[in-house]
Chains A and B, each alone.
Chain A
């Protein structure tokens, strides 16, 4: 049951992603939000929930467990794609956002790693971590958050 549903949603996401990438006109790989395969989170997270975690507005998953967002290097294509796709914001806007958070002392930006492989490594180590990688790099070590 669950698998069928997730498959369906997967297809859905792909379609949307394709459309987005076609519009962006860039040969950017499809980006998906992922958590560790060991993460007990089974429920799908909404776009907003994912965004809140990455923008420091939420620090926990819906089930109450700690959420540790993992960012990728500033300026990397997958990072820009992720934020554009999930928040609709440009890198400058993301930077302005964090500037304000830091300046007012309300938080720090997520920890950065250099690429998706590193993300997966971290996810494998930390079941509470949440990151984003290219669709193509999804494997059994991660669970794709079927964000809507």
Chain B
């Protein structure tokens, strides 16, 4: 929401520049919602409460002011009213006196009354007393018949002034009353009595209006003697109580601003105004109850406080809800960002790691290697690159399935890591290929130590699908700087060294060497040549005869592949078959061999030569090629070759790879009438029982046994045993590599069926075969002994 968007910050940065770093920091801090919201809330609260309290203060001040003002105004009005009322009374007294003194009779009052010169007798009772105090005339029946004992009567004897009596309570009406009186003079100036006006005290406070003065206001007439002549508060009228006059009525003009004071007479706090009346021994008192005058303000204060509280609560509620929401938003954004970062990290991880083993992959390894090369260069150090390939891994994959293969790879990865130091790196390049980087070679031995360790570690049995499995590894090693200065050279050379290790019988490690470099060059030449050899018709078949041991007659031919490389000339199969097999070229080449051999065989027959067995070698790839049987069927059909004349040779080791699959293929071959021979027999470990289950026709004793068959006893025994076994299984036994007469003799004695080898049987081109056969038939005609 209002959080620190980068745009905001940039804008701020741009406008403020670097000088206001602290300000910028402050801004970005403040912009965070969890600070901003409470800050705004506090600010608004401060405004709300500030305004409210100020309003209350102002209202109170205004209420106080208006109470003060109205107290003074009321006092002014009241003062005028009281003075007028008093003057009226005094005027009446003077009028009566004048009339009395003029007429000298008591009937004055009724005359005056008849002329409505007297005030209304509802309120005022006018009476005349003679010099003895006897009431001689009155507008109403007098309360007392004689007033001689009254203070006001006595005082008028000596002084001619308006007398205001102390209040007393009328016994009949129980109202407080006041008596105003003046002296009457006889014609000689002597005291003739008094004229009196009795008034209810309430008359002087009848102007009390609840609207203005409230229920607890005060209105009163106070004598300078400190005795209240009349006092009213609400509806209650009283009189006669005494107060300290000086304390109530200020000597000077009252101040503009009246402060509330506690009234001594009833203990009520009031805005009190008191004024001494001009010309009368009286003062008026007006009081406004502080409580009532400020009630509205107090009520408003309560209302304002309540409103402010409600607003504060609401604000806090809203802010906390907003804060919560924004917090959640921030959190969810944070989460989102974290997820994105995690995702990016994951993507990067995946890009640089092998999914299966979690080892670094080729890209990461390549990075690390070039980095390590740079460091090694800078610090004049050496480093080593090890290429590692599992031997027979494909076999595991083929027989146990990919899941087991994957499990094996994982296990191998773990073992490899365990063999290495922290600073070393192992990466998986793909398939069963691993590569190890040893970036720091402290001592010469370390590389071979690690290689040994790896070999023995990998060689330990694996448990896959509940069975124990063993695999081995072949390792090729190149070192910096002697085997290469750059990444490509080092890896290529390690790779080549690994191939050497494979060729050296696997489960070993090899250092790269210049010889290997040469080999690898040759290999490169072969690889590139092989790709086009077939289409460039560079292959040729030679044929090596097989002869019957006894008659010496040629019984068949073994097709032998020759490659005429345009640059390096004739290449023998041992040099390129393995390469072709690895390159996956052996299947098409093999097909070409079979087809060519078949065509040749049929051609010979057409030329009238004898029907000969035609033996062709099958490599592992060819044998397990899914299309083998279909291809053979087609070749036989295309060439018109008699299937019974075709003999396919497979190696002994191939039989043991996948018995079930092998059996299936072999049976397929037998179904088509094709003969099956086991090549290079005798060096593997096949038992008689194993051999028995396969539908075989021929076994060919390996040349290594034959080489020493005439001299070494063990080989003799072995050969004998093989021949015997072949007999037992009704197999044709062929001896390979027979090169001497002695060997041939021995074999013949031991009932071997056929033989091959340079003794009489060098491989020859097709065209020489016809010659050979013709020569042979000539020989056989003359001499049945082939030994010559």
Which residues from B are CB-within-8-Å of A99? Answer: 123, 200, 202-203, 206
Of the residues B120, B173, B203, B207, contact of A108 by C-beta under 8 Å: B120
Question: A57 at the A/B interface (Cβ < 8 Å)?
Answer: no
Any A CB within 8 A of the CB of B85: yes
A72 to B84, CA, bound (A): 28
Contact residues, B116-151 vs A (CB, 8 A): 116, 119-123
Contact A103 B122 (CB under 8 A): no
Contact across chains for A103 and B85 when beta carbons are under 8 A apart? yes
A100 touches B84 (CB 8 A): no
Partner among A96, A98, A100, A104 whose Cβ is within 8 Å of the Cβ of B120: A98
Q: Please indicate the chain B residues that have their CB under 8 angstroms from the CB of A11 in the complex.
A: none
Instruction: Provide the bound-state CA to CA distance between A96 and B120, in Å.
Output: 13
Contact A96 B122 (CB under 8 A): no
Q: How far is the CA of A21 from the CA of B317 in the complex (A)?
A: 69
B206 / chain A contacts, CB cutoff of 8 Å: 96, 99-100, 103-104
Q: State in angstroms the CA–CA spacing of A103 and B85 once bound together.
A: 6
Which residues of chain A are near B371, meaning CB under 8 Å?
Answer: none
**Within the assembled complex, what's the spacing in Å between the Cα atoms of A104 and B82?**
9
When C-beta atoms are compared, the residue in chain A nearest to B85 turns out to be A103
Collect the chain A residues with CB atoms within 8 Å of residue B84's CB: 105
Total A-B Cβ pairs within 8 A: 41
Query: How far does the Cβ of A102 sit from chain B's closest Cβ, in whole Å?
Result: 6
Indicate with 1 or 0, residue by residue over A111-147, a CB within 8 angstroms of chain B CB atoms. 1100000000000000000000000000000000000
Q: Tell me if A109 and B85 are in contact (CB < 8 A).
A: no
Check: A52 CB closer than 8 A to any chain B CB: no
Assuming A103-B203, A103-B204, is B123 touching A98 (CB within 8 A)? Answer: yes
Is A109 a contact of B120 with CB atoms below 8 Å? yes
User: Which residues from chain B contact A104 at a C-beta distance below 8 Å?
Assistant: 81, 206-207
Size category of the B interface is: 10 to 19
A38 contacts chain B at the CB level, 8 A cutoff? no
- Does A95 have its Cβ within 8 Å of any Cβ on chain B? yes
Contact residues of B between 180 and 225, Cβ < 8 Å to A: 200, 202-204, 206-207
Give CA–CA (A97, B121) in the complex, Å.
14
Name the residue of chain A whose CB is nearest to the CB of B209. A100
Q: Cβ of A102 and Cβ of B207 under 8 Å apart?
A: no
A109 B202 Cβ-Cβ under 8 A? no
In whole angstroms, what is the CA distance A26 to B9 when docked? 98
Name the interface residues of A50-70: CB closer than 8 Å to any CB of B: none
Given known contacts A96-B202, A96-B206, is B81 in contact with A102 (CB within 8 Å)? no
Cβ–Cβ contact A103 & B81, under 8 A:
yes
Contacts A99-B123, A111-B116 known; 12 new A-B pairs at CB < 8 A: A74-B121, A95-B123, A99-B206, A100-B206, A103-B206, A103-B207, A104-B81, A104-B206, A104-B207, A109-B120, A112-B121, A112-B122
A-B residue pairs in contact (CB < 8 Å), sample of 24: A74-B121, A95-B200, A96-B206, A98-B122, A99-B123, A99-B202, A99-B203, A99-B206, A100-B206, A100-B207, A102-B85, A102-B120, A102-B123, A103-B81, A103-B85, A103-B203, A103-B206, A104-B206, A104-B207, A109-B120, A109-B122, A109-B123, A111-B116, A112-B122
Closest 5 CB pairs of A and B: A100-B206, A99-B206, A99-B203, A109-B120, A103-B206
